[in-house]
Amino acid sequence: MDVNVQMQVAQMIASIQNSTMLAVAILIGSGALGTAIGFAILGGKFLEGAARQPEMIPQLQVKLFIVAGLLDAVAMIGVAIALLFTFANPFIKGLLVYLPTIAS
């Protein structure tokens, strides 16, 4: 393979990796921000409901923990997708399919 072709392939792979890392950062950041906002709203509504009806605190607390678990699950799914893009990047595998046509 020619040196110029190798440089082009290396530049394409670097470009894909840079774009992927930017997307991963946005994915993790938006997941963390969404979870933080969700927990803030959830905690505020729990305190509001507990202040209005103190006898309902046990039932509200159960629902609070269920929704908190779902909020955490959404963030963990985002982290899992980000890890997939980081370590098993499907875009680079797609580029490697075209590598023999670039070399010729």
d(CA 56, CA 61): 9
Catalytic residues: 72
DSSP the chain: --HHHHHHHHHHHHHHHHHHHHHHHHHHHHHHHHHHHHHHHHHHHHHHHHHH-GGGHHHHHHHHHHHHHHHHHHHHHHHHHHHHHHHS-HHHHHHHHSHHHHH-
